[in-house]
Amino acid sequence: MQILGLYNYWIFIVLMMCGFYVVISRGNLVKKLVGLNIFQTSVFILYISMGKIAGGTAPILTGMATIYSNPVPHVLILTAIVVGIATTALGLALVVRIHEAYGTIEEDEIHAQSEDEAL
Amino acid sequence: MTEHLPVLQVVVPLIAAPLCALLRPGRAVWLLAMVTCALCLLIAALLLDRVLAQGVISYAMGGWPAPWGIEYRVDAANAYMLLIVAAIGAVVMAFARTVVEQRIRLPASKQPWFYATYLLCLTGLLGMIVTGDAFNVFVFLEISSLSSYVLISIGRDRRALTAAYQYLIMGTIGATFILIGIGFLYVMTGTLNMADLAARLPAVADTRTVRAAFAFLTIGISLKLALFPLHLWLPNAYAYAPSAVTAFLAATATKVAIYVLLRFFFTIFGAQFSFGTMRLDAILLPLALAGIFSASVVAIFQTNVKRMLAYSSVAQIGYMILGISLVSVTGLTAAISHLFNHALMKGTLFMALGCVSFRIGAVSLDRMAGVGRIMPWTMGAFVIGGLSLIGVPMTAGFVSKWYLILGALERGWWPVALLVLFTSLLAVVYIWRVVETAYFQPAPEGRATTGEAPLALLVPTWTLALANLYFGLDTSLNAGVARRAAEALLGVGP
């Protein structure tokens, strides 16, 4: 039961591994960025899960509720989401420039061209 | 005013960066960036002075007291690091103007953005050092990383783009690992303040979550500091970035990552947990030795001198990690002092190479033949930097090697001490290859015979070159303060 009860953490682990695997295994630069995005998003889920308490509400003192969720991880992850957007935007911008310079976004083809240059 | 110094250290370059982006290209934008860097250096010097006189400075961001608000906490180790980064930032900024105006493939209208990005990178690096909040470290890490990807990508060679992309992928994985590690620590302790974390962690240290946090942080930070074998992003990034950027990043970025490593493992987890329970030294020591040895050997076979020095940087990072893995005051002193000395020597070497590429447009060995005769001052600075890199007495590099060997002998690890000496000989080999080519080989046919580099490039280069000599003789800063920082980190001594 405990394993099922922690399902959001299982999602975190599965997403993280999927994303990480895509980054490592794909040769297409855009696909790598997609993988990186999934990898980062999994961490967002980790942070959001840990701040949430079942039945808890937003931490506003109304006198009605007694259980509050911790808002700090949610705020932290807002920052991390912004960082993730910046990283993706910059990564895609680099891919555009790489495409202009090499005419391809496949890692092995770029590598082959760079090898020729070195010779 | 002076009580706000810790926050000004970060806020000044952070505000100057968008201002730079708003200015029109020309002298004014450089002047603004230069004044900002000089101010940062002044603030860092004042902070170090105050810390040495009065002890730890704690600054509550926005007036929120420590465990709840973000605390900026400056002790001997931070203040020393701030000084290194701010000093290199200022010297390289003085160097950057000529390079940016004439050598970077960047349209004139975009030049202000270079200065803005440079200042953002400086902000991130200074922020990582000055902050006393674990999550804040991540935020500043990403500020400095994102701006350094941009700085690398504007290199003239198109391979700079792929190098920047590769660094972006590796750097983001590293930063995300750090984020996961910090998250696990927060789950267990409910705090992000470093001092508070250090106080609360021992109670929960023997849990799988804390051990996992430790593992994630180790890998994440090791990626950022380019510990062998996680260094693969570094050689290309340094080789194809513009020379001013290489000089700046090589002298600061990996050093700050090493500082973060020290902060997490010594201050937050504590030496007892990191090295007693988790036996981190057993992992760091072989990796450091393998890194020193293999990177030095690879450096010997490089034909691009910038790439050669990049591999040498991987080896030098190995020396610092070796010092850390000795887990003694002497070993840590060696590591911390090498942070400073390596910034000086690599700054000098990369700026001298910047002068060479400014004049002859390339830094490959065959193109550099005979360059010592037409550019005596530039190559003079290169030789001083090279001697310091090898660790010849009377140069800064000797100081840290000396402590490193002392530290190894203290532990009774004489094979390690011998390996340090042997790898210094490998450094002699690769530095000698450049010196021999530059001084004793005839200039290749068809290379334009241009003269010495302009004064605007030589003055910053020689400033750092002379600093190499000065700090080889007067070791009160790079060994004296380093020792105090080491004692503070290990929690012994005053």
Give the residue with greater pLDDT, B363 vs A92.
A92
**Half-sphere exposure in the Cβ direction for B72 (13 Å, CA):** 23
The verdict on residue B463 lying in a domain is yes
- What tokens appear for B187 in the block? 């789950």
**Half-sphere exposure in the Cβ direction for B87 (13 Å, CA):** 21
- Residues of chain A whose beta carbon is less than 8 angstroms from a beta carbon of chain B are 20, 23, 29, 32, 36, 39-40, 43, 46-47, 50, 70, 72-73, 76, 79-80, 83, 86-87, 90-91, 94-95, 97-98, 101-102, 110, 114, 117
**Interface ipTM:** 0.92
Q: For position B494, what pLDDT does the model report?
A: 43
Mean pLDDT, range A10-15, rounded to an integer? 90
Reported as type and span, the H/E element at residue B72 is: strand B71-74
Mark the ranges of chain B whose per-residue pLDDT is less than 50: 494
**Chain B residues whose beta carbon lies within 8 Å of the beta carbon of residue A110:** 162
Q: Which residue of A has its CA nearest to B183?
A: A47
Give the one of B179, B186, B192 whose C-beta lies nearest to A80's C-beta: B179
**Chain B residues whose beta carbon lies within 8 Å of the beta carbon of residue A20:** 173
Do the beta carbons of residue B242 and residue B99 sit within 8 Å? yes
- What tokens appear for B304 in the block? 């691009």
Q: Measured in whole angstroms, how far is the alpha carbon of residue B351 from the centre of its chain?
A: 15
Rounded CA-CA distance A31/B441 in Å is 48
**Chain B residues whose beta carbon lies within 8 Å of the beta carbon of residue A68:** none
**Chain A residues whose beta carbon lies within 8 Å of the beta carbon of residue B172:** 36, 40, 87
Do the beta carbons of residue A37 and residue A19 sit within 8 Å? yes
**Chain A residues whose beta carbon lies within 8 Å of the beta carbon of residue B192:** 72
The verdict on residue B459 lying in a domain is yes
Length of chain B, please? Answer: 494
Q: Which residue of B has its CA nearest to A92?
A: B165
Among all chains, which residue has been given the structure tokens 């700026």? Answer: B351
What is the CATH number assigned to the segment(s) A2-118?
1.10.287.3510
Task: Give the domain extent around B449.
Answer: 301-494
Please give the tally of structural domains in chain B: 1
A116: pLDDT strictly greater than 90: no
Max CA pair span of chain B:
71
Q: Which residue of B has its CA nearest to A101?
A: B158
Residue B162 touches partner A, C-beta closer than 8 Å = yes
Residues with Cβ within 8 Å of residue B143, at least 6 apart in sequence: B120, B121, B123, B124, B127
According to DSSP H, which parts of B190-263 are helical? 194-204, 208-225, 233-240, 243-262
Q: Which residue of A has its CA nearest to B153?
A: A94
Max CA pair span of chain A:
74
Looking at residue B252, its amino acid is T
Q: For position B449, what pLDDT does the model report?
A: 63
Nearest to B468 by CA among B375, B377, B376, B393: B393
Q: What are the residues facing B57 on neighbouring strands?
A: B74
For the stretch A79-89, pLDDT in tens is 999 999 999 99
Residues with Cβ within 8 Å of residue B166, at least 6 apart in sequence: B232, B233, B236, B237
CA-based nearest distance B165→chain A, Å = 6
Please provide residue B60's backbone torsions phi and psi, each rounded to the nearest 5 degrees.
Answer: -90, 115
Rounded CA-CA distance B417/B1 in Å is 48
A93: pLDDT strictly greater than 90: yes
The verdict on residue B251 lying in a domain is no
Mean pLDDT, range A70-83, rounded to an integer? 89
Q: What is the DSSP string of B464-482?
A: HHHHHHHHHH--IIIIIIH
**Chain A residues whose beta carbon lies within 8 Å of the beta carbon of residue B69:** none
Do the beta carbons of residue B137 and residue B128 sit within 8 Å? yes
Do the beta carbons of residue B349 and residue B339 sit within 8 Å? no
- 3-class DSSP assignment, residue B255: helix
- What tokens appear for A92 in the block? 């895609």
State whether A91 and B165 contact (CB < 8 Å): yes
CA-based nearest distance B162→chain A, Å = 7
Rounded CA-CA distance B422/A8 in Å is 53
- 3-class DSSP assignment, residue B131: strand
CA-based nearest distance A37→chain B, Å = 10
**Chain A residues whose beta carbon lies within 8 Å of the beta carbon of residue B165:** 29, 91, 94-95, 98
Residue B161 touches partner A, C-beta closer than 8 Å = yes
Among all chains, which residue has been given the structure tokens 């308490």? Answer: A53
The CA R_g of chain A, rounded to the nearest whole Å, is 20
Mean pLDDT in chain B? Answer: 87
CA dist B179 → B166, B220, B482 (Å): 20, 9, 29
The verdict on residue B441 lying in a domain is yes
Give the one of B139, B168, B175 whose C-beta lies nearest to A94's C-beta: B168
Rounded CA-CA distance A65/B160 in Å is 56
The verdict on residue B491 lying in a domain is yes
